[in-house]
Amino acid sequence: MLEQLAALLAPNPLYYWRTQQDAELDLYVELSGRPYGFEIKRTSTPSISRSMRSALVDLQLARLAIVYPGEHRFPLSDTVVAVPADQILTTGSVDELLALLK
């Protein structure tokens, strides 16, 4: 899944984020001058972890997407959204991806 996201987001620089306290985020990218985060999960019931909360604050993310193997897109908070992996895989542009994160 990370490879597909990287291909979609190219040529934007992509980063893995980790703190000394072991908080981590799978993918960090700036799009149109705004920071976004992506966390890939295998669970069918995604939730906001302590690491994600740290990333939202430390990186001042505009939006954090939890990519998961479910079927429905749904918000977990004002800034966190669960997005089915299949929807990400069928996205053809960064603009379409950003629309999924709203």
Residue 93 belongs to a domain: yes
Type of residue numbered 32:
S
Terminal-to-terminal C-alpha distance of the chain: 20
**Neighbour count for residue 23 (Cβ, 10 Å):** 17
| 78: in domain | no
According to the model, what pLDDT value does residue 102 have?
86
Condensed to tens digits (0 to 9), the pLDDT of residues 34-75 reads: 999 999 999 999 999 999 999 999 999 999 999 999 999 999
pTM of the entire predicted model: 0.94
What is the span of the domain harbouring residue 57? 2-63+84-100
Q: For residue 72, what pLDDT is reported?
A: 96
| In-domain check, residue 44 | yes
Q: What average pLDDT score do residues 20-27 get?
A: 94
pLDDT at residue 28, rounded to an integer: 98
